[in-house]
Amino acid sequence: MVDMRWPGRELVVLRTAVTIVLSLLIGQAGWAAAFLGGDPAWYDQHRFFAPVTAIAAVLMGLCFVAYRRTAGGVLLGLAALVVVMIFAQYLIGTLGMAAPHIFLGVLTAMAGTALTSWTYRRRLPVTVPEGTGNG
């Protein structure tokens, strides 16, 4: 029986999920910067998209768990770290702790960028077709 699945599907899903989360992280940083720059209207955008970013992070994490064989241990661990950082960021922001929120936001954006970069560099795991092994 011929496997009709597209072999790169898992990587496309992982790359799409991580790109969405990174885009939201960058948006969050932009809205926060506009607010800190003196335009209070952008704070509403920042607040609105905080739970959206958290939900997207959970969905991304689930994608990495579902395709953990394709992702590998390092990307799976980094994805989990990014999800935890986003939730910590959400909690710190909810508590109104501005300085730690900003600092962790920078670190979260850096971790999200690293995860995105490494996910795009990831290649499909090499599999040996049945009956062609060394033996």
Q: By three-state DSSP, how is residue 127 classified?
A: coil
92 occurs within a structural domain: yes
Number of domains in the chain: 1
Separation CA 133–CA 6 (nearest Å): 23
75 occurs within a structural domain: yes
Name the region of 59 (left: φ>0; alpha: ψ -120 to 50; beta: rest).
alpha
125 occurs within a structural domain: no
68 occurs within a structural domain: yes
Separation CA 16–CA 93 (nearest Å): 27
pLDDT in tens, 45-103: 999 999 999 999 999 999 999 999 999 999 999 999 999 999 999 999 999 999 999 99
Question: What is the CA angle 58-105-41, rounded to 5?
Answer: 95
pTM (two decimals) = 0.85
2 occurs within a structural domain: no
